């Protein structure tokens, strides 16, 4: 249906789909990413951990398992699609819609870990090209500080997008970052 409507992007792997009642597994999300790519759709794929997983020191392990399931489904010939057609959105489950946000340092740590995982498990080229967005309760108050970190390549915005002034500020904070790192 999205293909027929010429919608170019789809969000997959959001925590609401990974949780009951849908219970989408990492492997199922990987297959959905491959299916969307097969049909020419670009994908924003969400990864993230629960508060329990974070507190037990397993945040990166959980995220790496999610990434591996996606990488397993993207054909080697498609590695060039990472970055231009596959964007990763780090959404700490414990921060979505709660008003609690990861500190900029926590978000940067996870983003840097994702970028390193891509370099180690896909390629250095993919690691450099892939956009990694932050999506855990981004708002007009925290966006500027988050955007200053080198591995945070923009935002997947939820509720804050409903406030026009806040959304413009969030968009502008990302534009400043992109210019600073030469990606705009």
Q: What is the CATH number of the domain that holds 51?
A: 3.20.20.70
pLDDT tens for residues 54-89? Answer: 999 999 999 999 999 999 998 655 566 777 899 999
Residue 14: active-site member: yes
Q: Residue 20: is the preceding peptide bond cis (ω within 30°)?
A: no
Does residue 2 fall inside a structural domain? no
184 pLDDT band, cuts 50/70/90, is very low
Does residue 3 fall inside a structural domain? no
pLDDT tens for residues 117-145? Answer: 999 999 999 999 999 999 988 889 999 99
Does residue 4 fall inside a structural domain? no
Does residue 58 fall inside a structural domain? yes
Domain count, the chain: 1
Which one from 14, 49, 111, 177 is the annotated catalytic residue?
14
CB atoms closer than 10 angstroms to residue 176: 12
Which one from 73, 91, 111, 177 is the annotated catalytic residue?
91
- Name the residue range of residue 64's domain: 9-181
Does residue 1 fall inside a structural domain? no
pLDDT value for 47: 98
Rounded to 10°, the helix 26-38/59-71 angle is: 40
Does residue 96 fall inside a structural domain? yes
Does residue 126 fall inside a structural domain? yes
Does residue 174 fall inside a structural domain? yes
Distance CA 182, CA 184 (A): 6
pLDDT value for 117: 98
Residue 78: active-site member: no
49-72 burial, b at 16+ Cβ within 10 Å, e below that, comes to: bbeebbeeeebbebbbebbebbbe
């Amino acid at each position: 249906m999205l293909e027929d409507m010429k919608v170019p992007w789809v969000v997959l792997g959001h925590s609401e789909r990974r949780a009951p009642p849908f219970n989408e597994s990492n492997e199922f999300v990987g297959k959905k990413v491959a299916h969307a790519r097969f049909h020419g759709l670009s994908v924003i794929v969400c990864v993230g951990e629960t508060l329990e997983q974070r507190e037990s020191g397993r945040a990166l392990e959980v995220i790496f398992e999610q990434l591996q399931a996606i990488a397993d489904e993207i054909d080697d010939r498609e590695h060039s699609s990472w970055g231009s057609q596959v964007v990763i959105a780090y959404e700490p489950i414990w921060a979505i819609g709660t008003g609690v946000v990861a500190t900029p340092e926590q978000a940067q740590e996870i983003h840097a870990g994702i970028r390193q995982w891509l370099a180690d498990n896909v390629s250095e080229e993919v690691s450099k090209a892939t956009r990694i967005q932050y999506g855990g309760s981004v708002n007009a108050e925290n966006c500027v500080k988050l955007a200053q970190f080198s591995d945070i390549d923009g935002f997947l915005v939820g509720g804050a997008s409903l406030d026009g002034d806040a959304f413009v500020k969030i968009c502008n904070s990302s534009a400043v970052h992109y210019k600073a790192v030469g990606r705009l």
